[in-house]
Amino acid sequence: MGSNVLVTLFLFSFSFFFSVSSAADLSASFYETSCPDALSTIRSAVASAVSKEKRMGASLLRLHFHDCFVNGCDGSVLLDDTSTFKGEKTAPPNKNSLRGFDVIDTIKSDVESVCAQTVSCADIVAVAARDSVVALGGPKYHVLLGRRDSTTASFDAARSDLPPPSSSLSSLISSFSGKGLSTKDMIALSGAHTIGKARCVSFRPHIYNDTNINDSYAEKLQENCPESGDDDKLAPLDVSTDYVFDNYYYKNLKVEKGLLHSDQVLYNNGSADSQVSKYSSNGAEFFSDFAAAMINMGNISPLTGSSGQIRTNCRKVN
């Protein structure tokens, strides 16, 4: 075996070990001593926000996904642009689309008041996502904690790493695999679309160009989403129960009522069909697999130990 190959294998092994050991530093009891009121404070703030606007639950869940998929779960998605770097908020997948930053600001302020500069913004986003799921009827799971916050953000990575609504099944599998997530994780995490809404610009190609969509469903959507203009008109990702975290997302896919192209490809005579069918008939299994997949996603390249910082303001570096 050549020396270059040996070096490559060593670097890969080291990189893999470092990634696993960083994730292993996370613990569900991380703040038990340093900030015992952290989780109850976050839960209370999320419950208040979701009670005021149910859609906010989906928005907070989506923030966690968009954070983790861009250079890991490090709170970078929360950073505002500065004169020295262009952050992730204005990247095409996020601009005029991501919401909930003000809620995270409120939660951070509440947490800072009970234990200053102790709980990271990245952890707040992870816990808020879980609490949002629970508030809307979904599964409760233990969030692993101990992440620290990034001191930078990447516009380019946000533009390239977040799978677009036009994604094929193979590109979704590849995108999630690149983050260390399995196809099973991907299909389970897609079930997050059982809550929330999407903009017309995201589902327009599916309702006008695709054939794997229920005709009456497409016609109904076309009433509020014309072939051009009105890009910000909204439609529920789950046409049946858009404010309840359940398994109707998968039931809808089986009758070709997936809102996005990237939704319906999960049930389109492909390799994901059997798992979609399983979840559509077994909500408990979906809940269990979703919780496990969320934990796996939360383990993507966290900053731990002395890396990063604990931001006092989630929008800017200390």
Beta-bridged to residue 149, according to DSSP, are: 309
Catalytic choice (66, 142, 206, 261): 66
Contacts of 163 (CB under 8 A, 6+ apart): 69, 171, 172, 175, 176, 262
Beta-bridged to residue 316, according to DSSP, are: 313
Q: Are strands 234-236 and 197-199 parallel, antiparallel or unpaired?
A: antiparallel
Active site residue 66: yes
A 10 A CB-CB count for 90 gives: 15
Numbered residues of the known binding site for heme b: 193
CA distance 39 to 31: 8
CA distance 107 to 93: 24
Numbered residues of the known binding site: 67, 70, 72, 74, 76, 88, 163, 193-194, 238, 241, 246
Which residue, 83, 133, 74, is CA-closest to 309? 74
CB 28 within 8 A of CB 144: yes
Is the Cα dihedral 265, 270, 271, 276 positive or negative? Answer: positive
- Catalytic residue positions, numbered: 66
